[in-house]
Chain A
Amino acid sequence: MSSLIKSPKDFWTGVVYFGFGAIAFWIARDYSFGTASRMGAGYFPTVLSGLLMVFGLLALLRGVTRNGKPFGVFAWKQALLIFASTVAFGLLLLRAGLIIALIVLILGSASASSKFRFEWKALLMALGLIVFCVLVFIKGLGLPMPLLGSWFGD
């Protein structure tokens, strides 16, 4: 396979563009296309997704014909940790409350860094940040975020 793909960046860009274009095209079939003088809801998205598929095909073509740079390292671990701790914050905010959600977000994301050590300095920073958020966002700006969420019976 790797002998076929000469420029991985072009090739995978092509896959992404073509894939998105195809899905968007497929979904847009449900919207009325209309005519040029009376564009329906499907007109613009159909044209755009068609265009995206064309760009995708061109990139795919370039990926198998022209030599390009390799990918380099992927920061999978870091990307997943940042993604997961962000999602976890969203899930926990209303259920467990702001304090617990922040602890999970801060320590979870910080562990994505190779320089992170679980020590008093890090904990102190996290604590300071949490106090700051509670004071500014809840007390000061009055954002509707519970300190302790529905799990604690409020």
Chain B
Amino acid sequence: MDVDIFANLWLGLQTAGSFINLFYCLVGVVLGTSIGVLPGLGPVATIAMLLPITFGLPPVSSLIMLAGIFYGAQYGGSTTAILINLPGESSSIVTALDGHEMAKQGRAGKALATAALASFFAGTVTTVLIALFSPPLAEVALKFGPAEYFSLMVLGLVASVVLAHGSLLHALGMIVFGLLLGVVGTDVNSGVARYSFDLPELIDGINFVVVAMGVFGLGEIISNLENESERSLLVKKVTGLMLNKEDFKAIAAPVLRGSLLGSILGILPGGGAMLSSFAAYALEKKVSKNAANFGKGAIEGVAAPEAANNAGAQASFIPMLTLGIPSNPVMALMIGAMIIQGIQPGPSVMVEQPALFWGLVASMWIGNLMLVILNLPLIGLWVKMVSVPYHLLFPAILVFCVIGVFSLANTSFDIYFMAIFGLAGYLFRKLECEPAPMLLGFILGPMMEEFLRRALLLSKGSPMVFITRPISATMLVLAALVMVTVLLPALRKKREEVFVEDD
């Protein structure tokens, strides 16, 4: 067993360490950081914007590059949060609490170095965890039939709703709406073109990049334009990156706790970076000796959530790679990218394409190493990019979105559709309907229909199959439990408290 893991990781390092893949990993990390650092752009928008570039690459390189973009964007978001208190993504909100205070006190360098080192440590821990836990999980998943998969997807979708903020009812509706959007296009079984309105462009369905860029790219731009507030950059030049002995002592335990908490929460469907960073901050506030200083620039308050958010982000690759279930919108985009590359995500990827699987895992560690090596010296450049005012920035974002979408199929039709989804994305935000569950539903829709069809075909139409098969039943019970707990008044209050900082 242990020998296997080393052999696997070795195969991965060989794949990821090839010149071409190192190059794409580097390009991904740099592009991801430089775009993620721009205020008002989170990882989902960044990845959606850069996705079209990767389509022409071989599958391994494209996934390695996308993963690089992801943690680059994640890291860039933390930089923005620390320097201008404008988190581009929900998982950096907690980092901004103490990180921005540190920047105000002239300790921006230390905050940024802490974030980088904490992320790197967490990334290393999680890479090992992925290598350890993915094979057994995939082993179990290989025994899954269509009924199990269907129930697993139900559980994943329900769990994603619980962690979205706002009304449960609104989020459930968004899932169903996303599933319905996924139905658009030709039905694989009967050949009927559904909801295509006789438009030839809709016969193959709606491209998920169009939806993601519209809702997360254009929709965000409109939201940001709604209240254009002046954000001043505190620090023109960042110095004092070095941490001293006391700093290391202070952050060691928080980083370790954050990494562990983040990797556990990241594996859960619906978990990931945001929940992890919130939970790690809350935990640290309880156990730290320095708790009184939290919110006033405590270095522990940067270290723990940064470690947790990176660990959570990376651990969310585990359910994606082994089960083919996305636990957050970023993973949904990764799955979409895999499908475009002709890879059916799921447990068979590890068996059929070991080089791809282990190459991706190994590249995560390499990418995290690159981030540390690159970002500390490049910090001056990031500071410059952070200070680009938004009103000069968003037209450029828009230009890259339209050209990217056009390049998908070389048709203006996709641009019109993206514009419509942009408008819809803004309206949904105004209605307090989170768009993330919709994207998950949209990606999972076609797979869910197929599994449902097969499960019911095998059971001769009896829906009891979902309850009589033990694994499937367990997942449905879990999904029901998750729903009930959210509806319990006590927990509901707690949940609102947790997400209140989100606004």
Q: How far is the CA of A79 from the CA of B427 in the complex (A)?
A: 9
Within the complex, what minimum Cβ distance (angstroms) separates B500 from chain A?
A: 13
Contact with B along A135-150 (1 / 0, CB 8 A): 0010001011100000
On whether A71 and B430 interact (CB within 8 A), knowing A37-B456, A37-B461, A49-B180, the answer reads: yes
Interfacial residues of chain B within 343-376, with CB under 8 A of chain A in the complex: none
B498 within 8 A of A: no
Knowing A73-B226, A75-B222, A115-B228, say if A133 contacts B190 (CB, 8 Å): no
**Which residues of chain B come closer than 8 Å to A43, judged between CB atoms?**
453
Measured in the bound complex, the distance between the Cα atoms of B180 and A28 in whole Å is 11
B195's contact among A24, A71, A112, by CB below 8 Å, is which? A24
- Give the shortest distance, in Å, between A34 (CB) and chain B (any CB): 9
The complex places the Cα of A83 from the Cα of B183 at a distance, in Å, of 25
Interface residues of B, count at CB 8 A: 62
Q: Does B136 sit within 8 A of A, measured CB to CB?
A: no
Q: In whole angstroms, how far apart are the Cα atoms of A28 and B332 in the complex? A: 27
- The yes or no answer to A16 lying at the interface (CB within 8 A) is yes
Among A44, A58, A86, A137, which residue has its beta carbon within 8 angstroms of that of B449?
A44
B228 and A114 form a contact (CB under 8 A): yes
Residues 111-125 of A, flagged 1 when their CB comes within 8 A of B and 0 if not, give: 011111000001001
Given contacts A55-B169, A55-B176, A115-B228, contact A79 B222 (CB under 8 A): yes
Interface residues in chain B, defined as those with a beta carbon under 8 Å from any beta carbon in chain A = 167, 169-170, 172-173, 176-177, 179-180, 183, 187, 189-190, 192, 194-195, 218, 221-223, 225-226, 228, 389-392, 394-396, 398-399, 402-403, 406-407, 410, 412-413, 415-416, 418-420, 422-423, 426-427, 430-433, 449, 452-453, 456-457, 459-463
User: A55 is contacted by which of B173, B190, B403, B427 (Cβ under 8 Å)?
Assistant: B173
Number of A residues with CB within 8 Å of any CB on chain B? 68
Q: Indicate if the CB atoms of A125 and B392 lie closer than 8 Å.
A: yes
Interface of A is mostly: helix
Residue numbers in A under 8 Å from B392 (CB-CB): 122, 125
Q: A41-B194, A93-B406 are in contact. Are A82 and B222 (CB under 8 A)?
A: yes
Closest Cβ neighbor of A44 among chain B residues: B449
Rounded to whole Å, the gap between the CB of B96 and the closest CB of chain A is 23
Candidates B173, B410, B452; contact of A56 at CB < 8 Å: B173
Q: Which residue of B172, B176, B226, B460 has the most chain A CB atoms within 10 A of its CB atom? A: B176
Beyond A13-B173, A83-B419, whether A78 also contacts B461 by CB under 8 A is: no
Chain A residues contacting B422 (CB-CB under 8 Å) are: 82-83, 86
Contact B399 A39 (CB under 8 A): no
Indicate if the CB atoms of B456 and A36 lie closer than 8 Å. yes
Q: Chain A residues near B415: list those with CB within 8 A.
A: 86-87, 89-90, 93
